[in-house]
Every structure is written in C-alpha cells, then in structure tokens.
Structure 1
C-alpha cells in the first residue's frame, strides 16, 4: 500500500490529474467508477477563494463517492494562499494540493502555477505557509523546472519535503516545454531513488496505454502514476492499466454500449451538480471524445450539441446506439491532446 499521511491507497495507485475544464465532479465520478484511486478538483485560485467568488467556491464541492479526493489551489502570495488553505480545510476534503505546474500564460503571468518555478525560495515559503495553515495533508504537483537550464526538481523535492509535504507529483517536462517533446522520467526516478526522500513520488506525463504504465512502473520505480490527458474521453484507461498489471493481458476496447452508458452517467451527475441547463451545456464537449472513432458521425453532432432538454439528449444517445449497433471499436493508442488549448480558462 501507499500512504499519504493518514490516507491509505493501494499498491501503485493511479491518480487522476487535476485538469481545468475537465476534472469536475461528474467527470471524477466516472473515473472513480472505472478505477482511479485518488483524484483532485480543478485548480482553484487562492485569490478567488479569499474573494469568495462563486466559481471558486463551487469547485470546493465533492461527492462522497469520490473519496479520497484532494482540493488543488494555486497562487503566488503567501498570505492569500494560506488563507485559501484555511478555507479549504473547512470543507474537509482528504488532502490539499498546491499547483506549481500549470504552464499556461494566464497563470504564469500572475506569478502562480509553474511561474513559481523561477523562484525556489518562494515555492518553499508558499508551501510552508499552506502546511502551517491547514490540518490536511499537503501535497504538491510540479514540473522539472522552468527550462532546460533550471531543472531543479531534485532540490525542490528535498526542500518541500523538509517543510512538510506528504507526497509529490512530478510532470516530466519543464514549463517552457509546455506539452511538447517527450516527458523525461529519468529525473523523476532520481527524485524517487534519493535516499533522503521518504514521501511518495508520483510520475506524470505521456502515460497513454497500459503497456507504457507497466513499463514506466518497472523502469522508474515511482510509487504510482498520475494520468491526465489520456483520461479525457477515456476513463476506462484506469481499469485497463490495473487489469494489465495484474494479468499481463489487454482488455478489449469499451463497447459502444459502455460508452453510451458512461455518457449518460456523466450527464446525470452533471445535471445534478450544475442544474438542468448548465449541466447539459457542460457535457457538450464530452460526447465527441467518448464517441470518437464512429464513422460518419457528423449527422449526430448537432443532435448532441444543440439541445438542453436532458430527454432530448438521452434520445439522441439512444439513436446513436441504434445507428451504430454492432460497431466494434479497436484498441488503439490514445491521442494526447494539448487540453490547455481547448479549455475555456
């Protein structure tokens, strides 16, 4: 088993990465039901929490069936970040995570996310402030460094552990790489193999198949892996990874019936969480990722994207299932999209 303070996870846990505009409660539920062991909220601005904005407060909400789940916050001001940590503490998630990894310009320009990678001393002070402000276990998600000349993750890991974090998730790219190139897990392995590191180390970046998950587990020795972009439209990856690690066999691709069922399940939770109109609207982008691979699908796009009446949407999904009855999906490598270019942040 793997322990994050008092949170007990199975051997080699699979984590769902926090993703803006993606990892809301409805999506987290379907990932949990398909094998994710630990999940995080979409990242929440410390300034927004302190300012009591509706959007930020809303993101603190979690379903009971999601647990264990962490709330992720970001910010570059010690006072506001510690105040945000205290607010999160009152909502009683299982842990608090700090985002030092988001590479998008709008966050970096505010001195937050991976913008903090330019100043390790500030990163340590921000983390220490959060640890002091909350009773929750504090974890961090970050990158290797700002650029090729400042890959300081080994120093960062030791210093953050020293101020009290209970686990560290590392994306194997620098901020300047964004999502280009190949994630460098060699540096993640160096952190894990450091005899002075005694907290769990989770690797993140480019995991897009059960085979790669097992290969990286064996090659780099991390305590678990965090899956992000590959889960978009494909929450079944978690169960497929677990099955492959246990048996060495690949599961068949999810059937059309399974895909339609997950669409309906996520729609149900989206309507429950957001309300009838907003819940239907938020689901529009998901149908096409779940059903990717169906030929000549254009005729159904407007039927799924236009209506806000849940019954019309369900009827359209039933029509898709009838129209493509007998279609067999092939098990193919998952396309890793640059989701930051497609989110509405």
Structure 2
C-alpha cells in the first residue's frame, strides 16, 4: 500500500564495472547498441524503480543465465545500475535500477533534458537504502507474475500496468494505490468467443505488508468512493488488497466490510500464502460480500456487476506529446512485458 513500513535497511553491496564501461559512450553511441527489449527495460526500471534478475527473466521469458549476461552488458554500459542488499545469512539476488546512461536514453526518447526527466543521480543509492525496498519488490513481483501468465497462456494478457508514481499523478487527489492495471482474456478458439472471450477487469492494487494501521486502511475506501463519484453515472473501480498473512487478511476484512458496504466500493482480498505459488489471476480472491468461495481475477466482474476502469482523460494511455495540456499523461507507462524476440539465439543482444 502507499504507506510503507519504517525499518532499518542494512548496507547494500555494489559490484564494480569492468573497464569496458558505458562512460566511454554518449547517447549516440548507445543508440546502435540497444535493442527494443533493452529499451523496454529502461522504461520498466524508470516506472517500477527496482527489479531483480529473476523478475526480469520472468518478464522476458528467458533463462536466468542468458538474462544475467544481458544485464551484465547493460551494467557495463552504464545503462543499468545494480546492488545486493546485505543479508545475515545467504546472498541476496542482484537488484537492478536505472543507470545514468539509461536515463540519458530515456530523456532523449522523451525529448527532454535529463534534469527534467524525473531521474536523479542518487536514485540507485536511495532505493538500495530505502526502508520500503521490500514493499516495492513484493508489489513488483506480484505484477510481473501476473503479466507472465501470457507466456503460458497467450490468450491472457496484462495490457496495462501503471506504477505508483503514475497513479499519484492521475488520481492523487483521491487515492494513492500501489498499482493500477487492466487484465484480459481473449479466446482465439473457434466457437469459444461467446463463452470465454472478451473478459477483462480493471483494478487498483493495494499491497498491504501489515505495517499500516487498520484504521488507515479503512480510511482509504473513502478516497475510492470520492473517485467513483467523479464519474457519471457513478461507477466504482475494483480494489484488490493483497495481505501478508491469513490473519492480517481476516483483520482487514472485518474492518473494511461495513465501510465498503456503506460506500458501495467493490473490494476483494487475498494473502501471500495463496499467491506465492501462482499469480493474481488464480482463484485466490475473496470478495468482501456475497460469497465464501475464492474467485479467479477474471471472474470478479461477475460478482460485482457494475465495475468500470478508473476515470482518465482521453489519450491517457497512448503516447501524445500534447496530452499534458488536457490533463492526460505526456508519456504512458511501460508495457508490462518486453516486445517479442525477433533474432535467432546466436544473434540476441537485448534482454533476451
């Protein structure tokens, strides 16, 4: 959720770059060395702050070693930065953030000066030492595993993943969710269109670590009610709450049920033990009212009949340099998954 725990973060370890470093290149030099999948990673790291090697490999649908080689190359070029949080026992995975030359590419693509891109030189250090690092990684892991369902079932796709920063830009006067997303199913099988095709759901995600007082969680529903009231006719957007434990889920449900019923806000909850081995798409969601059975994500709109995507200005989710004047985003969020591979294995150079 938007409120994060205040904990002490142990020092992070940073690996050295090889002598073949990106500091010898400028933006023009990088232009011929970055693939479309490299550029996707630049935008994804800017949006979602930090991703581990395993998360990037899952999104890219490639092996861990292949992903490590690509990330090492991008690290040596200065496109990404990385660190490993300190652990008392064992070793943490490599955590990747956007590097200086990645930010240069991002700014060039957006036709702005680097200082106006929103990237800061101390970004990696701030993330590495942030007390909210675990929260950020947990949220990103849930969304990446949801997006990755497309790799095993091409009829299912996460078509939109708006990060916390974009959510604050669009709806910050009312709510501050951890993510906003569109997930859909499109059947390609003849004769199945009427029964299975065309299902979709838009939702806000609140990632609850248990550090936020229940009263503050309950108070968030008033913001979602206020956002729904800005539409005519009033149509709320589904709110999903992911908790850390069954006990926390039970406490959240008991506290929110009367408020959600009074404000007419559709809410469903789950907890980590149910999602750890799968994804948010599975039958892990329990609506606050009306059923005692866990429900799949795409089945929630059949439980809550009157749902709608969150209100946004026209052109919000498409690139439009002039859209900022109308209140929409000037640049849309990064696609949840990288573009498909187009080169034979021996020629791959990007996030393969």
The answer to whether TM tops 0.5 is no
- Tell me the TM-score normalized by structure 2: 0.28
- Tell me the TM-score normalized by structure 1: 0.28
Indicate the structure whose relative CO is greater, using CA pairs within 8 Å and at least 6 residues apart: 2
